[in-house]
Amino acid sequence: MLAKVFSGAVYGVDAYEVEIEVHAGYGDPKVIIVGLPDAAVKESSERVWTALTNSGFDPPLVRTTVNLAPADIKKEGPSFDLPIALGMLAAGDQMDGSPFGDYCVTGELALSGEVRRVRGVLPIALRARAEGRKGILVPVENAEEAAVVKGLAVYPVANLREAAEFLDGKKTIPPFGVDLTTAFAGGAVYDDDYADVKGQEFARRAIEVAVAGGHNILLVGPPGTGKSMLAKRVPTILPPLTLEEALETTKIHSIAGVLPAHQAVVSGRPFRAPHHTISDAGLLGGGTHPMPGEVSLAHNGVLFLDELPEFHRNVLEVMRQPLEDGSVTISRAVASVTFPCRFMLVAAMNPCPCGHFGDEKRRCRCTPTQMQRYRNRISGPLLDRIDIHVEVPAMEYQQLAGLEKGESSADIRARVMASREVQRERFAKHRGARPVHNNAGMRARDVHRYCVLDDAAQGLLKAAMTDLRWSARAYDRILKVSRTIADLAHAEKISADHVAEAIQYRSLDRNYWA
């Protein structure tokens, strides 16, 4: 007998429907899976056979063929266990398979028959709705995630027998629902706050400007000056995620398998801090079946690269294009996959190999050759893509011992959100292939339109460009940062004061190591 069950698989950030055909015919008891399965899918025959036995069913004692269509796309992972098991039951006349056409089924099976959580349920649920399915059967731990999709009934199942009895009409499972507004309205709760940071007013101001305009920032200073402490608090002053951004972020985290169980949606800005030993595939994504990397997991959030010169040169260089485009494309022989990666880059580094260059309390022992070699680990084109470079000096004892707290994250975030609202209104009517969300995302055409300088500001910028021999990209970066500083000051036009402050945020271009 032939049975047909519908499931789904993920490729890139989207899912496609997988039609699972199960035929029980004559021959030796054996389960054969075809349709480009990987090792995990092939092994499902053993898991499914044992799960059927431990769930009180009779496994087929005939030759059983399982076809995963479309057969020209490689299938991977254990998420086909549950639909294969249900198809085998229907093919063996142990249940009615006629309701299968109304449902999408996904889930991994334990040997006991328990249904375990899988990744990528959100995009699979979206695809099921697009294909006209009335409902989806998912593991209990994935129910909140699937319930985000409106117009699709979600049925959480704990084990194989429960799923079979539900589809056979012997058991009732109420559809699972989640109040997305309530789940999302709670927002993110942060344990860190900029009120904990003492001193470093210049660096704090630079970070506020960077966040207000969505600019990338590099913090340079000796060890122990608070660079990591400042960076880890950046999400606390970012504007809250919109619902659209939250769903985008949740989809990526679901595909990567990092979405916590029983979580409906990612409500806080992501903060990713990979170790400097990460590979280019780990940073950008990759694999035979392409998966998102750290830059995509940081989508709509912050990517923090501590000890920037310690990262492999090739890893940093492959990040240049994603920083410009807000997306990364991974090409394979059969297809190309594009992952979104619109993030704010926050990087930190020491001023020299020993870390004490410019420190009045400790002597730097690095030779000029060592310092130049250390500096050359970061290419000029990459530095040009970082809008703000700011020094984080060592602090005096009086600053550390003072009882006065710094400004809170809530106060800073209020100013940031006011600036972002100005930018939102400015770019609301933007026309182009890619929408502009903030000042950092402006194209050359937008810079000429929105970053008009008065005579004094033009003269100041011309002198800086001539004396310091900055590149054209650095010129654009200064204009963008100046526009953000003006927005924070509620100024319609960019003045010389705004340009002067923006120039101060290009420390590595001002012969820092001279």
Domain with 16 in it: what CATH number? 3.30.230.10
- 189 within some domain: no
pLDDT tens for residues 18-64? 999 999 888 788 888 999 888 888 889 999 999 999 999 988 888 99
- 360 within some domain: yes
pTM of this prediction? 0.89
- 300 within some domain: yes
What's the pLDDT score for residue 514?
47
What's the pLDDT score for residue 497?
93
Q: Do 153 and 289 reside in the same domain of the chain?
A: no
List the CATH number of the domain containing 285: 3.40.50.300
* Cβ-proximal residues to 81 (8 Å cutoff; 6+ apart), any chain: 44, 47, 48, 51, 107, 108, 109
Q: Do 202 and 93 reside in the same domain of the chain?
A: no
- CA dihedral angle for residue 380, residue 384, residue 387, residue 393, rounded to 10 degrees: 10
Q: Which residue has the higher pLDDT, 185 or 409?
A: 409
**Phi, psi (deg, nearest 5) at residue 473:** -65, -40
β-strand pairing of 271-272 with 285-286:
unpaired
For the segment 385-405, the average pLDDT, to the nearest whole number, is 74
- 185 within some domain: no
Residue given tokens 């990528």 in the structure block: 120
Q: Do 30 and 147 reside in the same domain of the chain?
A: yes
Q: At 245, which helix (H) or strand (E)?
A: helix 243-256
Q: Do 130 and 263 reside in the same domain of the chain?
A: no
- Coil/strand/helix, residue 282: helix
Q: Do 166 and 247 reside in the same domain of the chain?
A: no
Domain that holds residue 211: 194-509
What is the distance between the alpha carbons of residues 348 and 344, in angstroms, rounded to a whole number? 13
What's the pLDDT score for residue 243?
85
- 188 within some domain: no
Number of domains comprising the chain = 2
Helical spans, DSSP H, in 331-471:
368-375, 380-384, 397-401, 409-426, 444-450, 455-468
Q: Do 325 and 272 reside in the same domain of the chain?
A: yes
Q: Do 154 and 255 reside in the same domain of the chain?
A: no
In order, the DSSP letters of 34-93 are ESSB-HHHHTHHHHHHHHHHHTT-----SEEEEEEESTTS-B-SSTTHHHHHHHHHHHTT
What's the pLDDT score for residue 310?
93
Q: Do 160 and 281 reside in the same domain of the chain?
A: no
**Token representation of residue 219:** 């913090």
**70 preceded by a cis bond (ω within 30 of 0):** yes
Residue given tokens 């860190």 in the structure block: 192
Mark which of 178, 207, 232 sits at the end of a domain: 178
Residue 513 has pLDDT above 50, yes or no: no
- Tell me which DSSP letter residue 484 carries: H
Q: Do 164 and 275 reside in the same domain of the chain?
A: no
Mark which of 119, 154, 178 sits at the end of a domain: 178
- 514 within some domain: no
Q: Do 221 and 95 reside in the same domain of the chain?
A: no
Contact (Cβ atoms closer than 8 angstroms) between residue 215 and residue 439: yes
What is the distance between the alpha carbons of residues 183 and 171, in angstroms, rounded to a whole number? 29
**Token representation of residue 135:** 């409902």
**Token representation of residue 480:** 């963008």
* Cβ-proximal residues to 460 (8 Å cutoff; 6+ apart), any chain: 496, 499, 500, 503
Beta bridge partners of residue 327, listed in sequence order = 340
Q: Which residue has the higher pLDDT, 159 or 286?
A: 159
Which residue in 257, 234, 149 sits closest to 188, CA to CA?
Answer: 234
pLDDT tens for residues 65-78? 999 999 888 888 89
- 183 within some domain: no
β-strand pairing of 302-305 with 30-34:
unpaired
Which residue in 152, 150, 180 sits closest to 241, CA to CA?
Answer: 180
* Cβ-proximal residues to 56 (8 Å cutoff; 6+ apart), any chain: 161
Which residue in 215, 188, 216 sits closest to 410, CA to CA?
Answer: 188
Residue 512 has pLDDT above 60, yes or no: no
The confidence band for 475, taking pLDDT boundaries of 50, 70 and 90, is confident
For 151: left if phi > 0, alpha if psi spans -120 to 50, otherwise beta; the answer is: left
pLDDT tens for residues 223-234? 888 899 999 999
**Token representation of residue 1:** 């007998």
For the segment 368-393, the average pLDDT, to the nearest whole number, is 87
Contact (Cβ atoms closer than 8 angstroms) between residue 482 and residue 388: no
β-strand pairing of 302-305 with 271-272:
parallel
Q: Do 58 and 140 reside in the same domain of the chain?
A: yes
For a pLDDT cut of 90, what percent of the chain falls above it?
Answer: 52
Contact (Cβ atoms closer than 8 angstroms) between residue 453 and residue 475: no
Q: Do 219 and 309 reside in the same domain of the chain?
A: yes
Mark which of 178, 202, 225 sits at the end of a domain: 178
* Cβ-proximal residues to 500 (8 Å cutoff; 6+ apart), any chain: 460
Asked whether the CA dihedral 57, 59, 64, 68 is positive or negative, the reply is positive
What's the pLDDT score for residue 405?
73
